[in-house]
Amino acid sequence: MKGKKGKQGASVRRFVFLALALFSLSGLLHAAGPNLEYFWLALLIPIAIIAISYMASYAFNTPSLRAILQDEMLQIFATGAIALTLVGTQAVVDEYVTATLQASGATGTTITSSMDAAAAKIAELEGKASGILLNMQEATDMLGTEASRGVYCNFMGTGFSLTNCGPLNAYRGSMTAAAFTTTVALSDTYAQDFLLSLARTYAFSIIIPLGLILRCFKASRMAGGALIAIGFGFYTVYPVVILATDNLLHGNQATAPMPQNSAIPLVGTCDPKEPKVENARADFVSYGEQLTSYSLIYGISYQMLVRILFLSILNLIITLGFIRAFARMIGSEIDVSSLARIS
């Protein structure tokens, strides 16, 4: 009888110790930053549920329930350790990224986290895509205006037209296709900015705290691990991957300039009254050579196809791969193959 009471007393002391430890841990999480204000609630709610259930097990004399609750309390403690690891990792990543960018002179004092740096990078790419698209629109409008010029002559009842400027319309199809690709790249930057905005707003305030709550209980442990991995992946890993891949491919523009800022040339004024076909053909060929120059094609293709479209797909695939691996580490399983195909 005394041995049984001793075991019960040890269980109670162990339960109280774990509860106090998690209370202290929740205070550290609450003080860690403005985005972590719900972390302590995510740990206090399961503790309260377990405590009430533990007292009920004595009221209804169900010792088997107490054994289950002790195991669940250990899981709550492990979840608290995971929460503290996430907070510490995020703090280290933000400090390292901010220090690196400030040391390289690539950012100002407004960048205080990896999320801010990634958002600034996406805004930079968005500005480049918008500028190229506006340049294409201006070139296409002027091209259409000049190509529509013509002369109609009537001599003794016989009419004929001179369309020396009409062949310029041949370039409008390629310009339209390039503008469509640029529009897709611009939309892609909007999508990346939207993902970053969602992660900034909901990852450490709703998704991860909800995952912490669900992971504390056996019935919802896998769902909780999946939410934690998704929230941490898109808030911490996704911005770092955006910065890492772009810097790996693009480097520092100041030290390694790329032929990326060449403006699309505007067509000159076309004279529809030009009597010599050779002159009109020479103007047509000259403008075509300007449009197909290597520096112009390389710059636009590099910016739109490689730096924006290709890297966005690569960044998402890397992030989804991390989410799957991290979810498996904390006791969950996510099938990201379909999401990777969508990316």
Q: Rg for the chain (alpha carbons), in Å?
A: 31
Percent of the chain at pLDDT > 90 equals: 20
Q: Which of 18-27, 290-299, 315-324 has the lowest mean pLDDT?
A: 18-27
235 — pLDDT class (breaks 50, 70, 90)? very high
Handedness of CA 115, 121, 127, 129 (dihedral sign): negative
Round to whole Å and give the CA distance between 202 and 267.
49
Handedness of CA 312, 314, 315, 317 (dihedral sign): positive
Predicted confidence (pLDDT) at residue 99 exceeds the cutoff of 60: yes
Q: Which stretch, 2-6, 14-18, 126-130, 214-218, has highest mean pLDDT?
A: 126-130
Whether 228 contacts 336, CB under 8 Å: no
Query: For residue 257, what pLDDT is reported?
Result: 47
Query: For residue 31, what pLDDT is reported?
Result: 42
pLDDT in tens, 42-62: 778 888 888 888 788 777 877
Tokens for 138? 């201006």
| 331 dihedral zone (left: phi>0; alpha: psi -120 to 50; beta) | left
Query: For residue 13, what pLDDT is reported?
Result: 57
Round to whole Å and give the CA distance between 272 and 338.
56
Token match 């930053």: residue?
33
pLDDT in tens, 170-213: 888 888 899 999 999 999 999 999 999 999 988 988 899 999 88
Whether 146 contacts 267, CB under 8 Å: yes
Round to whole Å and give the CA distance between 9 and 5.
6
- The pTM of this model reads 0.79
Query: For residue 43, what pLDDT is reported?
Result: 78
For residue 152, the SS3 value is strand
Helical ranges in 33-113 per DSSP H: 39-59, 63-104
Whether 166 contacts 282, CB under 8 Å: no
Query: For residue 190, what pLDDT is reported?
Result: 94
Whether 140 contacts 172, CB under 8 Å: yes
Query: For residue 254, what pLDDT is reported?
Result: 43
Q: What is the rounded average pLDDT of the residues 96-101?
A: 79
Phi, psi of 249 (to 5 degrees): -85, -45
Helical ranges in 105-169 per DSSP H: 114-147
β-pairing, 158-162 vs 151-155, is: antiparallel
What is the CA angle 230-235-238, rounded to 5? 85
| Average pLDDT value for the chain | 80
Whether 139 contacts 264, CB under 8 Å: yes
Predicted confidence (pLDDT) at residue 255 exceeds the cutoff of 50: no
Number of neighbours of residue 238 by Cβ within 10 angstroms = 25
Query: For residue 337, what pLDDT is reported?
Result: 64
Task: Give me the residue spans of the domains in the chain.
Answer: 1-106, 113-343
The single-letter DSSP state of residue 113 is S
Whether 231 contacts 207, CB under 8 Å: yes
Token match 């505007």: residue?
266
Round to whole Å and give the CA distance between 122 and 120.
5
82 — pLDDT class (breaks 50, 70, 90)? confident
For residue 165, the SS3 value is coil
Whether 316 contacts 234, CB under 8 Å: no
Query: For residue 312, what pLDDT is reported?
Result: 92
pLDDT in tens, 104-156: 665 555 677 888 889 999 998 999 899 999 999 999 998 888 888 877 777 76
Round to whole Å and give the CA distance between 35 and 236.
13
Query: For residue 79, what pLDDT is reported?
Result: 85
285: Cα separation from own chain's centroid: 43
Predicted confidence (pLDDT) at residue 94 exceeds the cutoff of 80: yes
Predicted confidence (pLDDT) at residue 236 exceeds the cutoff of 50: yes
